[in-house]
Amino acid sequence: MVFTFKNQYLQGVYDKTAKCYANEPEFLQAVGEVLQSLEPVVAKDPSYETNGVIDRIVEPERMISFRVSWVDDNGKVQVNHGYRCQFNSAIGPYKGGLRLHPSVCPSVIKFLGFEQTFKNSLTTLPMGGGKGGSDFDPKGKSDGEVMRFCQSFMTELCKHIGADTDVPAGDIGTGAREIGYMFGQYKRLRNEFTGVLTGKALSYGGSLARTEATGYGLLYFTEEMMNVMKNDTVKGKTIVVSGSGNVAIYATEKATQLGGKVVALSDSNGYIYDPNGINLDVVKDIKEVKRGRIKEYAERVPGSVYTEGQRPWGVKCDIALPCATQNEIDEESAKILVANGTKVVAEGANMPSTPEAIAVFQKNGLLFGPAKAANAGGVATSGLEMSQNSERLSWTFEEVDAKLKGIMINIFHNAYDRSKEYGVEGDLVVGANIAGFLKVADAMKWQGVAY
């Protein structure tokens, strides 16, 4: 994808970034999309150029890269790459998840850190943007191997993070188990019990509703978007969800509670289709308890089928919720969704739709909820976990869930209002990018040019 700009300043910044990071396609994709949204903002206010705000906002404040060596169950030494990208601290300590997946590389970590900066701004909570992770694959590893990896990873990471500096959390491959091992190691090395990580278990400072937050938040956003923009609701709709991890499971749970019928879920090997609506107890047992594969669902639930080697976008649905990974909906998949009558796409994963796919959705008048707005509920609730840790109190599930819902509804309106203000009513990509940007840019201007 080649990005072109009307504004010369934006074109210059993009070209320089593209030249410097030519081998980082995901990062350039994320930067290109945001800078395109900023055309009217930069055209209206020359101070963004005179203050070099765009030049600065596309460059991480710090990119840490380190060796993670650990010993497997056979006594063999293994080495992985570890990363933490501290992208922007203008509005708060760096905040964002840790991804453990073989595809992790600087491009992926930087795109995620860049997106996180604007997402966190949208939550209205005081959190800067960061992301980290490793090309370590927890799949198929024993608990002992995962623990030794996490301890080694934290042995280096602990030098760079802290409750007021940088607060990592979960993402693909990093759940409560991994966060627990990392927290234990941080505490051991630093001899301090602080809210340095979020997504913790409840017994040592985790927040109620954090597990559910990204998926629930995605549905609160989707419901509000459908209500305001189409006077419609999730109730009675057929829904396809990709992935079957944390985000997918709790998106399915809330969608079902709202009266929708989720008929498909997937993993990286294939997808299941259940015309009767997904039985989430079975999915939770397979994925959360046994750490198994989604194909086991079809072996356990009569009437459901498993298709190997394909994504679920060919399944007819009213609402599609990509909740697996980046670029999982390309132009061709988007056209199939449109042809099948899909009316709403809301992104639970980060950057799951390619720019070409988004163009197909927008051209065909679908409601489109972009990731940095629609999936912000996870990090928002991490922000609430940080607040609880700071005051050394725990709030009830209902309290956290109500705050999460309020934040998601507010994010929708903020993005929608900005889209109207900048003359592209209903384009929530532009609306969310501008809304997220304005706060970060303002904070950067106030703080002067140090970075």
Which chain residues interact with ligand 2IT by CB under 6 A? 95-97, 116, 119, 169, 171, 198, 350, 378-379, 382
How many CB atoms are located within 10 Å of the residue 362 CB?
16
Residue 247 contact among ligand 2IT, ligand NDP, none, beta carbon within 5 to 8 Å by kind:
ligand NDP
Q: Using CB under 6 A, which of the segments 43-51, 297-305, 323-331, 392-400 binds ligand NDP?
A: 323-331
| Separation between Cα atoms, residue 199 and residue 211, nearest integer Å | 7
Q: ∠399-401-402 over CA atoms, to 5°?
A: 65
Residue 325 contact among ligand NDP, ligand 2IT, none, beta carbon within 5 to 8 Å by kind:
ligand NDP
Identify the active-site residue in 131, 287, 343, 405: 131
Does the footprint of ligand NDP cover residue 267 (CB under 6 A)?
A: yes
| Separation between Cα atoms, residue 290 and residue 129, nearest integer Å | 33
Q: Look up 131 and say whether it is catalytic.
A: yes
From residue 346, alpha-carbon distances to 70, 262, 274, 387 in Å are 39, 14, 21, 28
| Separation between Cα atoms, residue 79 and residue 67, nearest integer Å | 7
CA 292 to centroid of chain Cα atoms: 23
Residue 233, SS3 per DSSP: coil
Nearer to ligand NDP, 243 or 383 (CB): 243
Residue 163, SS3 per DSSP: coil
300 token code pair: 């356990």
Minimum gap (Å) between residue 443 Cβ and ligand NDP: 22
Minimum gap (Å) between residue 8 Cβ and ligand NDP: 34
Q: Using CB under 6 A, which of the segments 176-184, 300-308, 342-350, 398-406 binds ligand NDP?
A: 342-350
Per CB under 6 A, the list member of 121, 207, 246, 389 interacting with ligand NDP is 246
Residue 244 contact among ligand NDP, ligand 2IT, none, beta carbon within 5 to 8 Å by kind:
ligand NDP
CB distance 299 to 329 below 8 Å: no
Does the footprint of ligand NDP cover residue 348 (CB under 6 A)?
A: yes
* Dihedral of the alpha carbons of 374, 376, 381, 385, in degrees to the nearest 10: 170
Per CB under 6 A, the list member of 35, 323, 428, 444 interacting with ligand NDP is 323
Does the footprint of ligand NDP cover residue 245 (CB under 6 A)?
A: yes
- Tell me the residue type at 337: L
Binding site for ligand NDP (CB under 6 A): 170-173, 214, 243-248, 267-269, 323-325, 348-350, 375, 378
Residues classed as catalytic: 131
